[in-house]
Amino acid sequence: MRKISISKELKECCSKLRLGCIEADVNVCEISDELLTEMNDQILQISQSISIESISKIPTIAASRKSYKACGKDPARYRLSAEALLRRVVSGKGLYQINNVVDQLNLVSITTGFSIGGYDADQIQGNIVFGIGQADEPYSGIGRGELNIENLPVFRDDLGAFGTPTSDSSRTEVSEQTQHFLMILIDFECDHVLEDALRMAERFLNNHCQAEKIEINIVD
């Protein structure tokens, strides 16, 4: 697995921060009936048990929002991806269906409340550092265009910023051509759920993405 680290600056703001990292070779294709069934079952369960107002109180979401504030970013304006997905589910809009790799990631996210980055690992150059965004730092989010990442927690490689807990970047977007996948679960509060979430993601990658050469690591 490539080297992934957390910057001193970010660690000072979020002292309990951990990253659950998975790399694997995958086969990107349309979602299977089995994965779609698992998604729909979880969507139904969430929509029947959670209200819009209670989403921000889910421990993993609450910890992530607290960390955004510690970094100097408003979590209501720059909503975390997990919170945005859960709000969509609870509002009755379901989940987007992109491809099997992205869809299993979103399923892990709504189940656990972790915001998760998913990247075409071959588009990442060099080592990865999780730090804090700078003023006027260029970043193009998937489906969002230019995104102001100042004070956002941000993943960088040798080419610059490529991922945040709010939006992944178009540069490292997972596509039909993706063969090597990197998935990073962002745990801001040292939550015991992280290990369970990693096992869930490993199972989904094996069962639904024909994953091979799976490597798992926790960075703190």
Q: Contact 117/175 with Cβ under 8 angstroms?
A: no
End-to-end CA, the chain: 15
Nearest 5 degrees, angle CA 166-CA 210-CA 23? 45
Exposed/middle/buried for residue 201 (C-beta within 10 Å: 0-12, 13-18, 19+):
buried
Give the 3-state secondary structure of residue 145. strand
Amino acid 96: pLDDT: 87
Nearest to 180 by CA among 123, 140, 115, 136: 123
Kindly list the structural domains of the chain, giving each domain's residue range(s) and its CATH number in brackets, ordered by start.
4-219 (3.50.40.10)
Q: What is the pLDDT along the chain (220 residues), one digit of tens a residue?
A: 889 999 999 999 999 999 999 999 999 999 999 999 999 999 999 999 999 999 999 999 999 999 999 999 999 999 999 999 999 999 999 998 999 999 999 999 999 999 999 999 999 999 999 999 999 999 999 988 899 999 999 999 999 999 999 999 999 999 999 999 999 999 999 778 999 999 999 999 999 999 999 999 999 9
